[in-house]
Chains A and B, each alone.
Chain A
């Protein structure tokens, strides 16, 4: 191609904002702005970077429920964002930048509940929380609070964006839309619009709950849905409805921050409610809290170095209310078979090449993260790292410079970049991270940079004395609209990776009886380690899926690291719950978007809330018969890399026979 060439690593060419944000601002940002020839003239729906970064950096030192550090500061890599994009209509432009102030509502808005209450927090999208499954027979809600992150800012000055409803607000809204009766027939459409769950007006509004399937509603039902007649008094709900996909960025860049804010807020609300009801008598007590977050990312350190994982760690270590049970539940992920993970063993100086296959007609950027651990002193900014790299370049791999980047430019526009950074683990060990970004391969605006599709060779070379093991992961790749197919996922394309065995069945990371064959460990591309990067922390319950009829671990359910070496904690699933009823019966049954409907949903997103249900029931001393262990049932052993400690199942008295 003419005009195509890489720049050189240069100690003067560095970035001061995290690589994903840098790439976002160069390549993805224009997708967020409304074209001038469009028919959307409402400027308030335009996304811009907010003025604030939501930091909460020093969680341990933070006064409970205060805002922590909220600054527009620059940060080093691996840590806080500089800003997150929000539609202007969502933003509280008057949010005061005062870290000592509370971001909680007035306690009059908070409910009175019994001391033995257990709270289930669900963070998701399209949660239609007025369904009967989340209410009592008298029509009142079991939801204590609902933060609608995507809603127009409604004047709640303590909230950074969106709007929040409390138990009384929800009850009032239910009554308004039920013809004046608390337990009358609810006009769900009207409730959802009023509550900001469905927004047909705004380009960036939520529509999911207006359809038949809604991820968040299904998750909430599994985690805390009960028939009104038997709903426990002491299991209550706090809900956060995340913004639409467009807010997350193509790589899920900003998802971490919305998730973290949601979690922190649920925890703080739980404490605030306790304080309202109990402060004098028992200031250190609290309501046990189980938070389910059925989201994740592919690439990351997959350790507690990950930003999000570190934040969860910080939350768990917060000194206030330290003895109150606090559980986080997340899914293992569904990308086991997506060829998104490779482990490259590098002897000193011998280069190896990994094929990264980027698809045509892909309207989203593609990303790979490469991590390795090196013994020695952490190099300073501008200094070389021992792992050398080249991307789609016939020249020999070059050693990256810390905080630096190189750019593949075509006619002056960047179509790919490689960013380099380091993170110190101790004074004798550090980790190197490369992030490789490529532009979309199809764009409708012909002025914008487009990357060629096909195989991009990643060549790695070890310039260290001792062997290095490089972990390569393709990052989450999603389209901006939820059901769109315009984001084509790239994959590692190596001839020795087998997808199917000689009988035509899919291979998995581990064998299962004589039903499933294990992968050949000779290939660099592997299913092991595809586990959710956001859930790769010892203290997070990371839930895998299996087929209920025969115990077979779901072929799509992401695998733990297995025997592959990694520093510190080796991520594995915690346990597994059913995600398919049988080979013929897809998924498991749960609530649909509409009140009273049932739909079949498949994926580890729906395994996680089942575990949240088990945990919350245990904590509430409510239905210890909820779980059973498959250990007594005669089915083949399954490998812990797929199912963690064991498989569980929730026994119900009258299960629907499909």
Chain B
């Protein structure tokens, strides 16, 4: 008897900025002890069962499995299913909504705390940013490999900052994948409420070197995701909070900045998109840390409507101006989420043999 076997497998892949990548990998089908599912294997198992199981009485000698507790860790699940559960847990804590009555385009709430909100620059402002599309384009030849890889994968770059992959620090990697996935789901809603045209819509001479995505230019998805990941990774590596990390220009933030700027080089974002995206990403990263630690999230106050966290003189997205422009405040204590606490504890434990340099992260 042939059964249709095999998994649904795979992830969501490309399309979104950064993509979903490995987090959902493994799919629904799952693998057998020695390899993947197939109709041949299932057939073989049918024959083997016929040969070995023989006649057995369900009321006879059987094992007594322990009844697992409900709220322990999710270690018993495959990575894909574990991600799905944790994603659901995380997602129910956040809410994105438009806030026109308050004069803002969109905000993100964590429980009762508003962790982020933004208004939108006008067309005239974006026009004034076009000169950066011109000057950053000169770096295109230099940045081709990074830009192309980063259309689908930014985690590999963070993975280069320390030993971080499925074999080493598996839980940290799962956590960061989760951070990226939830960030995408939040950022896409914010983008919709902040919908603004892309650079290519302003002038035929921009000619981006990659396909312009369909979603809003503002805020930048790459900036949001890279800064969310940087925030959580930096906290894992150093236990430092984000303001210290930004002030010291710690390596995860340096990388996040470069990933963001590469999108301007590529011709698909303005510097303002990256600055607001970075602020949003850090807010989301902090919120996730708070949920994981069961503490109060550090919120970044609103983007300054005057300079959008950009350099006051030049209007460019620079680490100095950005670090200066944000003002952290503390939100309300988060709801307890034991499943997240468990993941966090496992992830944090993977760094106990890691001692960051003084002036951590430099």
* A residues neighboring B (CB under 8 Å): 39-40, 42, 179, 185, 187, 189-190, 193, 199-203, 205, 207, 210-213, 481-483
Contacts and interface: CB of A to CB of B under 8 A. Distances in A.
A202 B131 CA distance: 8
Contact of B135 (A179, A200, A213): A200
B142 interface: yes
A207 B131 contact: no
A203 B318 contact: no
Contact of B139 (A185, A190, A210, A481): A210
Among all A-B residue pairs, the 6 with the closest Cβ atoms: A39-B130, A211-B142, A207-B138, A200-B135, A201-B314, A212-B142
Given A39-B203, A207-B138, 10 more contacts: A39-B127, A39-B130, A39-B131, A185-B359, A185-B362, A189-B319, A190-B318, A199-B135, A202-B131, A203-B134
- Dominant secondary structure at the B interface: helix
A207 B139 CA distance: 8
B198 to A, nearest CB: 15
A190 B320 contact: yes
Contacts of B142: 211-213
Nearest to B258: A189
B132 A200 contact: yes
**Interface core residue of A42, A185, A199, A200 (most chain B CB under 10 Å):** A200
A201 B131 contact: yes
A190 B130 CA distance: 21
Contact of A201 (B141, B316, B362): B316
Given A190-B319, A212-B142, A203 B362 contact: no
B316 A200 contact: yes
A179 B132 contact: no
B36 to A, nearest CB: 42
A205 B138 CA distance: 11
Contacts of A212: 142
B226 interface: no
A282 to B, nearest CB: 45
27 contacts: A39-B134, A39-B202, A40-B131, A40-B134, A185-B362, A187-B249, A187-B319, A190-B319, A190-B320, A193-B318, A200-B314, A200-B316, A201-B131, A201-B132, A201-B314, A201-B315, A202-B131, A203-B131, A203-B134, A203-B135, A205-B135, A207-B135, A207-B139, A211-B139, A212-B142, A213-B142, A481-B138
A205 B135 CA distance: 8
B248 interface: yes
A200 B313 CA distance: 12
A193 B316 CA distance: 11
Contacts of B134: 39-40, 203
A310 to B, nearest CB: 35
A612 B261 CA distance: 38
Contact of A189 (B131, B318, B359): B318
Interface string B305-329: 0000000001110111000000000
Nearest to B127: A39
A629 to B, nearest CB: 39
Contacts of B316: 200-201
Contacts of B248: 179
Given A189-B318, A190-B318, A483-B141, A201 B135 contact: yes
Contacts of B202: 39
A202 B132 CA distance: 9
B136 interface: yes
A218 to B, nearest CB: 15
Interface in B108-149: 127, 130-132, 134-136, 138-139, 141-142
A481 B134 CA distance: 12
Contacts of A207: 135, 138-139
A334 B101 CA distance: 66
Nearest to B317: A200
Nearest to B136: A200
Contacts of B139: 207, 210-211
A193 B315 CA distance: 13
Contacts of B249: 187
Contacts of B319: 187, 189-190
A481 to B, nearest CB: 7
Contacts of B359: 179, 185
Contacts of B132: 200-201
A570 B315 CA distance: 54
Contacts of A481: 138
Nearest to B129: A39
Nearest to A211: B142
**Interface core residue of B135, B141, B249 (most chain A CB under 10 Å):** B135
Interface in B332-362: 359, 362
A200 B314 CA distance: 9
